[in-house]
Amino acid sequence: MGILVKDDSDYNSLLEILSKQLNINLMSTCLEIKYQVKNNYPPMKITDNGNVSFYLELKMNAPDYTIQDKNQQMHQDQHMRLAQQVKKGKEQLSDVINYATFLNNEFTHDEDKVESNFKDDNVITDTRHREIKEGQSYKNKTVLKSVLSSFAIHNHFQFKVRRSCERQYFLSCLDTNCTWKLNATRKGTSQIFIIRKLNINHNCSMVVRTSDQRQATSSVIGGYIKSKYTNLKIVYKPADILRDMRDDHGIKMSYSNAYRSKVVAQEMLRGKPYDSFSLIPSYLYMLVVANPGSFVKLELKDANSFLYIFMALNASIKEWEFCIPVIAFDGTFLTSAYGGMLSTACAQDGNGKIFPLAFSLVDFENDESWEWFMRRIRDAF
Ligand SMILES: [Zn+2]
């Protein structure tokens, strides 16, 4: 059956027309409108005015598009006849529903299938999973690799990657004569990896198994130790990582690997230092929104690179007139990836206590940066 719609129809009018034609009550029934662009294409949904205009646009450009003469108005009795036909043709209606269900089942995206599989308890999504078995499914290759690295570390052996591609992950023990082997392949078109074959027994020597742990990469160790960096007060140095990895997991690792692991762990928690610089403008904006009357200034070297930043909170600016009129300046170098210097201006309040007035972050301690800081102090106070 066919219906006529105005070429300026919107979503609601389309819903109304369809509900009348199908003789359903929109208050109690949820109507989903879908169409197919071509055979074997997944159905497209119409959910708003934009979708309706897109659909009409598409139809108008189609070679078999039928236009009703605008002068020719459909007579009331034609409407009646159509309505009666619809009532008679209940089978037709069920055909439409069946077809819609068929399309929905047939063309659901693979990604959707993967998503629904995640709800399946059998798919391993947690990289802290400790047991490996033949037949296990993993959310994707990254999870599988991470679980296997940890597994090797915990079970004191090392593996060699024989083949690693989009479809396969094939490992053997580091000792070529050893029987330990694992073969995992991708499940169909999904991202899921399944362990197809696993020989869990080793017959290699302990010498091979206890030499330097190659699975202890900075990203694996970084994942282990990242919880240590959630508390800013705890100092956890590369030497501590070396000691803990040796005592807790029996891993011998180099200092440079421990240092890299520390950097990776901090990046996992706080992101890359490089990216933090791009947050400065929004940080300053929020600082002024949250503390109206504050004075902030960002100085750039060129359009895209950071030079200086200055901030004095409204509370400090207001309090300044009650302070002893002497300002003390000091600076300290920073140990982050990009170095720099933090300079501060302090005064003494009426109670004789140190009162912070302003902060600034500059590239180096030199005449230019101090002068810039002094000038901003004059602007602010
Ligand atoms: Zn082995």
pLDDT at residue 107 greater than cutoff 60: no
Q: Angle, nearest 10°, between helix axes 76-88 and 90-106?
A: 70
**Taking residues 24-39, what's their average pLDDT?**
72
CB 328 within 8 A of CB 345: yes
Q: Which residue has the higher pLDDT, 313 or 207?
A: 313
Label residue 342 by pLDDT band (50, 70, 90). very high
DSSP string, 289-335: HHSTT-EEEEEEEETTEEEEEEEE-HHHHHHGGGSEEEEEEEEEE--
Q: Is 171 buried (19+), middle (13-18) or exposed (0-12) by CB count in 10 A?
A: buried
Distance 175 CA to ligand 1 centre (A): 6
Distance 102 CA to ligand 1 centre (A): 51
Half-sphere exposure of 16 (CA within 13 A, CB side): 7
Distance 157 CA to ligand 1 centre (A): 6
Task: Name the DSSP class of 42.
Answer: P
Label residue 93 by pLDDT band (50, 70, 90). very low
Q: Cα dist. 329→96, 353, 358, 377, 379 in Å?
A: 79, 15, 10, 11, 16
Say what the pTM is: 0.45
Distance 182 CA to ligand 1 centre (A): 12
pLDDT, one tens digit per residue, over 266-294 is 888 888 888 888 888 899 999 999 999 99
Distance 253 CA to ligand 1 centre (A): 20
Angstrom distance (rounded) from CA 132 to CA 147:
8
pLDDT, one tens digit per residue, over 209-267 is 766 677 788 888 888 888 888 888 888 999 999 998 888 877 788 899 899 999 999 88
Angstrom distance (rounded) from CA 246 to CA 244:
5
Strand order in the sheet with 159-164: 123-124, 137-138, 193-199, 181-186, 168-173, 159-164
Distance 168 CA to ligand 1 centre (A): 21
**Token reading at 281:** 């403008």
Distance 154 CA to ligand 1 centre (A): 14
Residue 64 confidence (pLDDT): 60
Among 97, 185, 201, CA closest to 141:
185
Among 301, 152, 146, 127, CA closest to 214:
152
Q: Is 168 buried (19+), middle (13-18) or exposed (0-12) by CB count in 10 A?
A: middle
Among 38, 33, 28, CA closest to 17:
33
Angstrom distance (rounded) from CA 150 to CA 337:
29
- State which H helix or E strand residue 82 sits in: helix 76-88
Instruction: Count other Cβ atoms within 10 Å, centred on residue 138.
Output: 27
pLDDT, one tens digit per residue, over 154-191 is 887 888 899 999 999 999 988 888 899 999 999 988 99
**Token reading at 320:** 């300044």
Distance 172 CA to ligand 1 centre (A): 8
Among 315, 376, 322, 321, CA closest to 344:
376
Distance 122 CA to ligand 1 centre (A): 28
Among 371, 381, 250, CA closest to 312:
381
Please report, as a single letter, which amino acid is at residue 202. Answer: H
Distance 142 CA to ligand 1 centre (A): 23
pLDDT at residue 297 greater than cutoff 80: yes
Q: What 3-state DSSP class applies to 213?
A: coil
- The CA-based dihedral angle spanning residues 141, 142, 144, 147, taken in that order and rounded to the nearest 10 degrees: 170
CB 181 within 8 A of CB 173: yes
Label residue 72 by pLDDT band (50, 70, 90). very low
pLDDT at residue 317 greater than cutoff 60: yes
Instruction: Count other Cβ atoms within 10 Å, centred on residue 122.
Output: 9
Distance 200 CA to ligand 1 centre (A): 9
Residue 68 confidence (pLDDT): 57
CB 288 within 8 A of CB 315: no
Q: What 3-state DSSP class applies to 278?
A: helix
Distance 357 CA to ligand 1 centre (A): 64
Angstrom distance (rounded) from CA 85 to CA 183:
61
CB 162 within 8 A of CB 172: yes
**Token reading at 283:** 């940080």
